[in-house]
Structure 1
Amino acid sequence: MNQLAIAALSISVIVVSIFWYIRKPTSKAPPLPPGPLGLPIVGYLPFLNQNLLVQFSGLAQKYGPIVKLRVGNKLWVVIASPSLAKEVVRDHDLVFSNRDVPIAAQVVSFGENDMAWSPNNSGWRKMRKVFVHDVLSNINLDGSYNLRKDIVRKTIIDVYSTKIEKPIEMGELIGRCILNIILNLLWGGTIEGDEGERVITEFKALLPKLVGLLGKPNISDFFPILSGLDIQGVKKDMEIILQSYDRILDVAIAIGKKKLSENVIDQGRKDFLQILLELKENDEDTNRSITSKQLKGMLMDIVVAGTDTQSTTVEWAMAELMNNPEIMVKVQQELSSVIGINNMVEESHAPKLQYLRAVIKETLRLHPAVPLLLTRFPTKDSTIGGYSIPKNTTVFINACSIQRDPSIWHNPLKFKPERFLDTEEKMDFSGNTFSYIPFGSGRRLCPGTPLAERMMVHLLASLLHSFEWKLPKGETLDMSEKFGIGLKKNTPLFVIPSLRLSNLDLYT
């Protein structure tokens, strides 16, 4: 009887346990975001078009502000709302702080040894700290002002001397000026004279090819198993470009090391290369010393990101001003009031040029230099907006769509700088307002923003204060966009300058 009782009790326990287990509510994983169906193996890849911005906007209208796409072996998720962007770059910033690095970027970053593409590890944190606190410190930026001023001044003199009443390709003029500034900041005290001019010319010729390869769709990125074949030759082409850059970097580094050993500091200031070389050779402080690859990767970041994004933004700003002459009048009235007709622009004028700064902010709202920012790559499974985002998903934040969203911005396609003057919300480049993130946000916020802001304000103000600008006779202004890793004008902007200041000594 005891055995029967024990058996009966055991059976009862088992039955109750089974019943409880069946009735127990199971925790169900959140679903993947909605999105279009694709084909077997290739997914949505055959349906992608050249302008992902337009396509992503259309998918967001159909499926909502978070959309998934299977592209080859990759899962893409595109985010197009401030609240969801905040979840990625602020609430779960650590999880989403890595990149999905395309093969072209792996090459140009010296194997992910730079600030843009490196994973969030101790090496990346060291590089960023060195760049922000050592290279771009306020002391260094102030100390290099005269160099930036001189190059902008030479650009104004060149326009006055050779280009008055003649059509100028504005992107060419701006791009060369900014590249000249960047390279002189990097090693202005290192590579000088004819050699320095040759380096600028070589860098300028290679830069568009490099940026084009970074934005080129590559089958090896969609199907990593095929990467060794390099079917489109993207890796090979980027390696050829990098060889040319690497040769220049080696020459600059060798000269810089020699000057460092001889304790030579040109014009009483250190260029960026000298600062980085000192840190590289500083083996005692492991928190600040950097490797040879990191040194080259940081130099490439400064050249590529600094030149391309700034020149694109200033060209767009000029195009918008040509397209909105009443805004051009307001800007030049502010310049005359703040600077005076018998003075040249100084960086110290910038805080008082509120309308001009609003023009640049509005330009970056409508035409963000990197419209999809750089991708995020979660290190573990996560949940965003109630949807599951698996580990190693490629996450795009569509800054362009967010900054043109009619539910956020009134009349969003209209160029209206006043929207940055009339708001109580602090709209700056810090990435804290998630409806306005042209330079990103969170720990991956662009570290070069302080330098970029100084340079763009100074150069644009100098061009607008020194000259009047008009379109060539019979020409119409094309404001269409060309999408790549950046957002450029589809056709170059040609304009004709004429003198604006009566004191000709200001042009010589």
Structure 2
Amino acid sequence: MAMDTSLTLHFLLPTLLFFSFSFFLLLKHKKPKSPPLPPGPTPWPLVGNLPHIFFNKPAFRWILALMKHMNTDIACIRLGRVPVIAVTCPDIAREFLRTHDAIFASRPRTMGTEYSGRGFINVTSSPLGEQWKKMRRVVASELMTRPRLNWLAPKRVEEADNFVRYLYEHCRRDGCGGAVVDVREAARQYSGNVIRKMMFNRRYFGLGRDDGGPGFEEIEHVEALFRVVSFEYSFAVADYLTWLRWLDLDGHEKEMKKAIGVVNKYHEPLIDERIRKWRWGSDGRVKKEPEDLLDLMILVEDADGKPLLTSEEIKALAADLIIATVDNPPNAAEWAIAEMLNQPHILQRAVEEIDRVVGKERLVQESDLPQLNYIKACAREAFRIHPVAPFNLPHMSTSDAIVAGYFIPKGSQVLLSRTGLGRNPKVWHNPLLFKPERHLTSESAQVELLEPNLRFISFSTGRRGCMGAPLGSTMTVMLLARLLQGFTWTVPEGKPPGIDLTESTNDLFLAKPLHAHASPRLPSHVYPAAP
């Protein structure tokens, strides 16, 4: 009996070992190794790479320098426990926002967007969900449609005329030879005037100025809007270590509260009063026609004929649209003029196109813009080299994904580098050279400011793409065209030849606002007269 047991064990043991080893090989073959995370710096326990961000400001310059040092087009920087994925390659960017758009269609909740979105009820920065879908439907079907933009065109033209009149009066006041203009301030106030007119049907919050220029209120309003933009997504420590928010270690929350307080100070009384008039009929307004975007938001109804938007949602959406409109056009125009002053042949060609298409006996109108291909190419080139922000608004993944052969975990934040894409030497020849001709593919092809292939970012694409791209494009090209048509621009007398194109350390604006000499170049009767 003992011998039988010994023989049985002698036979079974090798058999068991054989099958165990075969099963192990089978499992190993069926379960391939998971793709790695994108390359990146070694994170610290608990805090990840937040110390690098905190002590290497601005964060965007550190991230791009790191990626260049690592020779990678995609990187993973861990901030707290959040993987932040930075991208500088158009092919990878398209994989995120086209192939896997549904997965990356949400937004992270940040301290800044909590303030600007009134608790995440707006459209631009709200996370994926029913609230975002509701607000997106309102914008797409009620506010930013082509008929609505056409309906609002007279307000935009009025402000473009006001802008030219203001610059003309400024030149005349300083003498017939022209005057030095702060192009940044003038362009930003143009954008502020346009969106205030479209939203509230008014140019000024206060009395304004007789020459069409901004008053204290308008200057404060626009400055606050730019502050809000800079702190919506600012790598605040509290966005990644929420239990430290009460300390406000980097001071971002204090700055954001101050800036959004200024915005609300001007917006809220107007919105509250308008809601009372429309919904309670305090002045019989319910019998009148809507005049602006605010009226449309108040009047939009649900399936039961009841107001669709609450007062809080109206305030959030109004601020959202104003903030999204005010920054891109003036930044592109300021950089384009600066680059043109350093390359006079580009400036001459742009002016010649306007004179050929429009002439000198009337001002450029929106109907002329489709024919101004070279002007649009100049604006497009400004967007490419000199974007208004280092990254696009972050996209957050709602599930695990494999992108460009790398594992992207659920909850990751994806940042497309605007400078990394637009200045990528693998995509653009001599990428730092301002060369509008690179966007002119043929004489018959229309130049568009939108770049769907993400070789640079003017207006984003995909589910979270900018629904106001047609408006932003129109405002940008109109601003640049009116500047070039109405005035001759030169470097101010007594200044070094050429414009210093150095970027600011902490952002992508010119380090010093562009001051250029402007002199009228059209007959005096063409310039708009004071109302």
Q: TM-score if structure 2 supplies the norm length?
A: 0.86
2:516 to 487, 495, 499: 495
Q: Do residues 228 (structure 1) and 246 (structure 2) align? A: yes
The 8 Å contact of residues 383 and 457 in structure 2, kept in 1 or not, is answered as: no
| 1:453-472 alignment, distance < 5 Å | 453-472=473-492
In 1, Cα distance between equivalents of 2:126 and 2:337 = 34
The 8 Å contact of residues 427 and 436 in structure 1, kept in 2 or not, is answered as: no
Deviation of 1:211 (Å) = 3.1
Deviation of 1:405 (Å) = 1.2
1:274 to 295, 301, 307: 295
Residue 504 of structure 1 corresponds to which residue in structure 2?
A: 525
Greater Cα shift, 184-193 or 314-323: 184-193
2:140 to 132, 153, 158: 132
Q: Do residues 401 (structure 1) and 420 (structure 2) align? A: yes
Q: Do residues 44 (structure 1) and 49 (structure 2) align? A: yes
SS in 1 for 2:488: strand
Residue 169 of structure 1 corresponds to which residue in structure 2?
A: 182
- 2:130 maps to a residue whose letter is S
In 1, Cα distance between equivalents of 2:250 and 2:519 = 47
In 2, Cα distance between equivalents of 1:63 and 1:7 = 59
The 8 Å contact of residues 50 and 483 in structure 1, kept in 2 or not, is answered as: no
Residue 435 of structure 2 corresponds to which residue in structure 1?
A: 416
Q: Do residues 121 (structure 1) and 140 (structure 2) align? A: no
The 8 Å contact of residues 369 and 478 in structure 2, kept in 1 or not, is answered as: yes
Deviation of 1:373 (Å) = 0.4
The 8 Å contact of residues 107 and 235 in structure 1, kept in 2 or not, is answered as: no
The 8 Å contact of residues 75 and 393 in structure 1, kept in 2 or not, is answered as: yes
Cα 1:472–1:79 change in 2 (3 A) is same
- 2:164 maps to a residue whose letter is I
Q: Do residues 56 (structure 1) and 63 (structure 2) align? A: yes
SS in 2 for 1:475: coil
- 2:83 maps to a residue whose letter is L
In 2, Cα distance between equivalents of 1:270 and 1:451 = 18
Q: Do residues 239 (structure 1) and 257 (structure 2) align? A: yes
Residue 108 of structure 1 corresponds to which residue in structure 2?
A: 116
| 1:151-190 alignment, distance < 5 Å | 151-164=159-172, 165-188=178-201
Cα 1:9–1:203 change in 2 (3 A) is farther
| 1:57-96 alignment, distance < 5 Å | 57-61=64-68, 62-96=70-104
Residue 383 of structure 1 corresponds to which residue in structure 2?
A: 402
Q: Do residues 149 (structure 1) and 149 (structure 2) align? A: no
Deviation of 1:257 (Å) = 2.0
The 8 Å contact of residues 191 and 252 in structure 1, kept in 2 or not, is answered as: no
Cα 1:466–1:189 change in 2 (3 A) is closer
In 1, Cα distance between equivalents of 2:305 and 2:63 = 46
Residue 207 of structure 1 corresponds to which residue in structure 2?
A: 225
Deviation of 1:371 (Å) = 3.0
| 1:304-343 alignment, distance < 5 Å | 304-343=323-362
Deviation of 1:39 (Å) = 4.0
In 1, Cα distance between equivalents of 2:462 and 2:166 = 41
CA shift digits 1:213-258 (9 cap, x unpaired): 3354422123222123333443244234333433433311222224
CA shift digits 1:256-305 (9 cap, x unpaired): 224424463899652000000112x546269x923333322211111212
In 2, Cα distance between equivalents of 1:398 and 1:36 = 18
Cα 1:14–1:311 change in 2 (3 A) is same
The 8 Å contact of residues 99 and 117 in structure 1, kept in 2 or not, is answered as: yes
Greater Cα shift, 182-191 or 462-471: 182-191
Deviation of 1:209 (Å) = 3.1
In 2, Cα distance between equivalents of 1:43 and 1:294 = 36
Q: Do residues 366 (structure 1) and 385 (structure 2) align? A: yes
Cα 1:429–1:92 change in 2 (3 A) is farther
Cα 1:101–1:506 change in 2 (3 A) is same
RMSD: 3.1
In 2, Cα distance between equivalents of 1:182 and 1:219 = 33
SS in 1 for 2:320: helix
In 1, Cα distance between equivalents of 2:294 and 2:424 = 42
Deviation of 1:122 (Å) = 1.9
In 2, Cα distance between equivalents of 1:117 and 1:490 = 28
In 2, Cα distance between equivalents of 1:52 and 1:426 = 37
The 8 Å contact of residues 189 and 265 in structure 1, kept in 2 or not, is answered as: no
Structure 2: give runs of 5+ residues left out of the alignment: 173-177, 209-213
In 1, Cα distance between equivalents of 2:267 and 2:524 = 42
Deviation of 1:362 (Å) = 0.8
In 2, Cα distance between equivalents of 1:480 and 1:266 = 55
Residue 500 of structure 2 corresponds to which residue in structure 1?
A: 478
The 8 Å contact of residues 282 and 289 in structure 1, kept in 2 or not, is answered as: yes
Deviation of 1:79 (Å) = 1.2
The 8 Å contact of residues 271 and 315 in structure 2, kept in 1 or not, is answered as: no
The 8 Å contact of residues 190 and 256 in structure 1, kept in 2 or not, is answered as: no
In 1, Cα distance between equivalents of 2:360 and 2:375 = 17
Percent identity of paired positions between Structure 1 and Structure 2: 27
- 1:327 maps to a residue whose letter is I
SS in 1 for 2:84: strand
CA shift digits 1:66-88 (9 cap, x unpaired): 11222344322211111111111
Deviation of 1:9 (Å) = 10
CA shift digits 1:430-471 (9 cap, x unpaired): 553132332122111111111111111112111111110112
Deviation of 1:64 (Å) = 1.4
Deviation of 1:428 (Å) = 3.8
In 2, Cα distance between equivalents of 1:434 and 1:30 = 25
Cα 1:141–1:483 change in 2 (3 A) is farther
Cα 1:275–1:393 change in 2 (3 A) is same
SS in 2 for 1:364: helix
Q: How many residues align?
A: 504
In 2, Cα distance between equivalents of 1:12 and 1:420 = 72
SS in 2 for 1:497: strand
The 8 Å contact of residues 189 and 266 in structure 1, kept in 2 or not, is answered as: no
Q: Do residues 352 (structure 1) and 371 (structure 2) align? A: yes
The 8 Å contact of residues 167 and 494 in structure 1, kept in 2 or not, is answered as: yes
CA shift digits 1:93-121 (9 cap, x unpaired): 11111122321221121111112211111
Deviation of 1:191 (Å) = 8.3
